[in-house]
Structure formats: C-alpha cells, structure tokens
Amino acid sequence: KVVSAAEAVGIGQELCRAMSAVHGAGLLHRDIKTQNVMRAEDGRIVLMDFGTGRELDDDASSDLAGTPLYLAPEVLEGQQATVQSDIYSLGVLLYHLVTSSYPVHASTIRGVRRAHERGERTAVRTARHGVSRKLARVIDRAINPQPERRYQAADALGMDLAALKPRSTVVRLAYATGVAAALILLPAMLALLGDRVNWLTLPFIGKRNEPKNTGVLWGTVTRLVTARPAFRTCRHWWRR
C-alpha cells in the first residue's frame, strides 16, 4: 500500500530518532523493514524486533542476517554491518512506502546480490512518477550502493526529511498577514516621507515555497515606486 509523502516523511523522522538512539547506544538493528515497524495506540511509530541486533564493534555483525530486499549491497557481499547499512534499510523502507515496490527485484538472496552487482536498481521516480524530486533525492541518497555516499548518521537523514515537511497553517497565515500589512502601510509611508527618501529597503525575505506572496509584494512595491517620479531612481534591496 502506497502512503502519502507527508505520512512517509513523518514515519521516516520517527524511525530516524529511534535509529539514532539505537546507534547512540552502540547497537545495530540489522533488520529494519516494514514488518518490524508498528504504530502504537497513541500514534507513535515503534521500531521492533531486535533479534538480529548486534553491537557496533561485534565481529558477528558480518554474519548475513536480515531480509534480502532490505540488505545493503556490501552486507550481501559479506562485509560487516554498519550504521550506513541500517540507513540503507531505512531508505528501502521509505522507498517501499511511497512506491509499494523495492529498488531491486529478485526472489532469492543470490538474485538480489546479482541485481546489485549489475546495477539493476530502479530509481524512486522511475518506480512512481508522483514522488516529489526532493523526497526522491533523500531516498536515493539513503539507498546509494556506496556506503560512503549515503547519510553518515540517522540524524542527518532525519534533518533532510524534516526539511520536506510543509510549514504549518499557522505559520503560513502569519506570513500572509505580514505581507498584507506591508501592502496596506507602504503607500501611507511613501506619502508621509515624500521626496526626502532616496532609498527604500524591503525587510522581507522571499521564501522559495511562497512564490505567489513574494511576487505580489515585489510587484506592488515596484508599481508604487515607479508611479512616483521621486522614487524612480530608488535602489531596491531584495533578500532571497
């Protein structure tokens, strides 16, 4: 079942916090997959089943354990499990949540290993075009076949996921209110200052995800300034 991007991001953030705690305690999970993630009655996401868990410096962590489709390529090749291999598994989990598929397709461990060796990986947006480019980049980085190119810590992955969450309605309303107030007050300020002003500073930071508000504010200020001869030579600073 495909879940929404917002839900997948929320689940991913909670799992990153759980993984960070596990890794911080010097442990590896080694079997992160959808079947080992549960939602508690209070809505919390819980990472379960540490049956294959090992200490970070335990040589036994090189023993093959886990679910093949979620295992990092280097683990399938017999290398020791690491923080990065746990992150790979979480990346596959996120991939599955938003596509209902997996990066590689095979029914046996040998088949999965061969698929990795041949580079037969399916990118997130190839599996499902509706996934946003930003979310796809985060997931693709988490499941990069090269451990050193993945996130080096669960916290780093969690931060990138947090950056994908849209601002709350309250924050957006406050931003829109500020823009509206500026548009109302600016004509009065210009009339009051008259010709004594030879520069105008706009103390607004354009938000990339607020192009409409930014455009409205800039367009209105431009019209107000160019409509008055005294301000046609004003300099404008626009922080982005």
Q: Which of 31, 57, 86, 195 is catalytic?
A: 31
- Clarify whether 49 is annotated catalytic: no
With a CB cutoff of 8 Å and minimum separation 6, the contacts of 16 are: 90, 154, 155, 157, 158, 161
Q: Tokens 């886990």 correspond to what residue?
A: 66
* Short-list 206, 202, 194, 204, CA closest to 235: 202
CA 116 – CA 208 distance, rounded (Å)? 37
**Pairing state of beta strands 45-47 and 54-55?**
unpaired
CA 42 – CA 50 distance, rounded (Å)? 22
CA 87 – CA 181 distance, rounded (Å)? 46
Report, as residue numbers or ranges, the catalytic residues: 31
